[in-house]
Each structure stands twice: as C-alpha cells, then as structure tokens.
Amino acid sequence: MKNNRIISLQDIIADIKDEEYIKEKILKQFKSRDRNSIEDFLHNKAINFEKSSLSATHLIRNDKSGEILGYFTFANKSLIIEKENFLNLSKT
C-alpha cells in the first residue's frame, strides 16, 4: 500500500475542470473483472453524484503505474429509523 494513494474525485474535478477528460482519461482506466454496476457507476455516474453532493468518491491509485486499483464511495442518503427502533437504540 506504500505506493498507493487515495485521491478524492472532488479534488480531481477542482484541479482539472474538464469532466469529459476526467471521465475518458482517468475514470475509464478502472476495469472490474466483469462489466457490472461497480464499473458503470464510476464511468458514468460518479461525477454527477459528486457535483450534486449525493456521494463522495475516492480513487485508490498506484503512484508508480498510475493505475486505478479501486475506489470507494460514501453516499449521502438519509437513514430512516422507525420510532420504536429509535427509542430502543436511544436506551442503550
């Protein structure tokens, strides 16, 4: 992990500003074993979600090769807890 760095997509957008370049030259470097929703999110939705404050995405990048090894995203979504469950939680 010594040669790997975590970079926020927000910082990339602020530095580069060209969303098409970010998508085509940076995000589309990431390939999962099978084409699936994980790859699709990063390639097609992550920038819009980031700009809309719906999520915060962070890329794990190898400094030597420049390869994107993976990513993680924190979603900004409300957690709905029923009153009964909330009361039980607040007692602990």
What average pLDDT score do residues 41-49 get? Answer: 95
DSSP state of 28: G
When pLDDT is averaged across residues 58-75 and rounded to a whole number, the result is: 94
Beta strands in the chain (DSSP E): 4-8, 55-62, 68-75
Residue extents of the structural domains in the chain: 4-75
Residue with tokens 């994107």: 68
Q: Is the pLDDT of residue 65 over 80?
A: yes
Q: Which residue has the higher pLDDT, 76 or 57?
A: 57
pLDDT digit string (tens) for 12-40? 999 999 999 999 999 999 998 877 899 99
